[in-house]
Amino acid sequence: MNSAENYSWNWERALTRAGIPWCTSDVPGYDGGQNMADMQTRGEYVTYAIRTMYAMADRKISTLGHSQGGMIARWSLRFWPDTRAMVDDVIGMAPSNHGTLDAQLLCTLPICQPALSQQAIGSQFNAALDSGQETFAGISYTTVRTNLDEVVVPSTNAALSGPGSITNVAVQNKCPLDVSDHLLVGTADPVAEAIVMDALNHAGSAQLSRVSRWCASSRSCPESIR
């Protein structure tokens, strides 16, 4: 999906309400499938967005994305080294950092699109993304996943390791009864929102010890996007 479909009704409103400036990144000429095209091209647009927002802000910026969008900023950091000095946080909601078995299964069918094959476990894209090192010193990484993820399988493939401040957490680590799936954890899960906001509002990666809300209403929308 494009950013208007995925974020106009939730994250754009939440960030605006929190007083956090933002921009979104889309592939030009969106026709319903552009974000399933070659992710190397997608990464070029993300790199442009990082450089542009850094220049406008005159300070380090944060990246936030869901699924493939939660992973693609790492492509910029890996292959455009100048971006590493521009980024403070990389925050992924159910990110496909190390691929998914689902992509391998779907790519046995005629519906396999480039981004699907690239997100298959063991793909050349994944090998390139993780070559050298997964993370970089001076950057904070927060991955928020759900144990009930039916798209990134296994869900633990979202986790990262390496230099920098890193937090890998499932929403169920905070609220065991949270039933959010892959889509909800990136769009409407209040536990995920609280974790992401913690990462944005503090130095370093998110810390569960600072997150104290939403468990009693984990299936409802957080206040900030109502």
Tally of structural domains, the chain? 1
Whichever domain contains 190, its CATH number is 3.40.50.1820
pLDDT digits (tens, 9 = 90+) for 178-203: 999 999 999 999 999 999 999 999 99
Q: Which has more confidence, 48 or 29?
A: 48
Say if residues 50 and 83 touch (Cβ distance below 8 Å).
yes
**What percent of the chain is predicted at pLDDT more than 70?**
92
Q: Which of 177, 90, 81 is CA-nearest to residue 132? A: 81
pLDDT tens by residue, 112-136: 889 999 999 999 999 999 998 999 9
What is the Cα–Cα distance from 50 to 170, expressed in whole angstroms? 27
- Where in the sequence is the domain holding 207, given as residue range(s)? 3-225
pTM: 0.92
Would you state the structure tokens that stand for residue 58, as one six-digit string?
A: 């005159």
